[in-house]
Amino acid sequence: AQTVTQSQPEMSVQEAETVTLSCTYDTSESDYYLFWYKQPPSRQMILVIRQEAYKQQNATENRFSVNFQKAAKSFSLKISDSQLGDAAMYFCAYRPNTDKLIFGTGTRLQVFP
Amino acid sequence: EAGVAQSPRYKIIEKRQSVAFWCNPISGHATLYWYQQILGQGPKLLIQFQNNGVVDDSQLPKDRFSAERLKGVDSTLKIQPAKLEDSAVYLCASSVGTAYEQFFGPGTRLTVL
């Protein structure tokens, strides 16, 4: 079965510091996509970053970057220079090619001034 | 560009009652998704439409849940009759196509008493 595991229910970080959120997944597929979504308290889910499994280079979007380890089936999100607006639930999601998204249980990130 | 619209934002009903949710996707988006997000969990796909047709409804409890997509645009999700375990946030998302980024609406929070 394809599963996504986020082992950190909650994380906290000081403003301007760096935090890493962990995600592991289980699949027998070789072609798939991985995503990190942010869900602020207003509940509108926003895509933060995506990674294609066939790409060896880790994706980066401004202050957000991933560490994609395909063999280990690990996909962590690093947030640099954390800001108060980064506080939210973060969901890791996996999608086999053209199939449905499978989400993890989420990590609540708190950012302290 | 307007985002995905959902209504109502909140709904409280008694068990065994019926309820309906409405979703208006982003204009031009062929694919529409309904997710159920139970507190403390990640979203779970209930049903996926491609234009008017159903692509995946494998996790839709068909004895009580139904969904339709009118003329390939708006969609409604109905629960009849509701159970306590249906309390959740129901998220609608849309995308240009199956393999493209999904844009989420703000969700409808359902409480079944």
The pLDDT, as a whole number, for residue B34 is 97
Q: Please, which pLDDT band fits residue A96 given cuts at 50, 70 and 90?
A: confident
Distance CA B108, CA B113 (A): 16
* Percent of chain B predicted with pLDDT > 70: 99
Nearest chain A Cα distance for residue B105, angstroms: 6
Predicted confidence (pLDDT) per residue in B45-76, tens digit: 999 999 989 999 999 999 999 999 988 899 99
B3: chain A residues, CB-CB within 8 Å: 44
Question: What mean pLDDT value characterizes chain A?
Answer: 94
* Structure tokens belonging to residue A39: 């869900």
Distance CA A75, CA A92 (A): 8
Interface contact flag, B89 A46, Cβ < 8 Å: no
B93: chain A residues, CB-CB within 8 Å: 45
Q: What is the mean pLDDT of each run of 10 residues along chain B (113 residues)?
A: 91 97 95 94 94 92 95 94 97 89 94 97
Interface contact flag, A43 B56, Cβ < 8 Å: no
A105: chain B residues, CB-CB within 8 Å: 40-42
Inform me whether the pLDDT recorded for A42 exceeds 80: no
Identify the closest residue of chain A to B59 by CA–CA distance: A100
Inform me whether the pLDDT recorded for A58 exceeds 80: yes
Distance CA B61, CA B83 (A): 12
The pLDDT, as a whole number, for residue A106 is 96
* Structure tokens belonging to residue B29: 């988006």
For chain A, list residues whose CB is within 8 angstroms of any CB belonging to chain B: 4, 42-47, 50, 91, 93, 97-98, 100-101, 103-106
* Phi, psi values for residue A85, rounded to 5°: -70, -5
The pLDDT, as a whole number, for residue A98 is 66
The pLDDT, as a whole number, for residue B3 is 93
The pLDDT, as a whole number, for residue B22 is 97
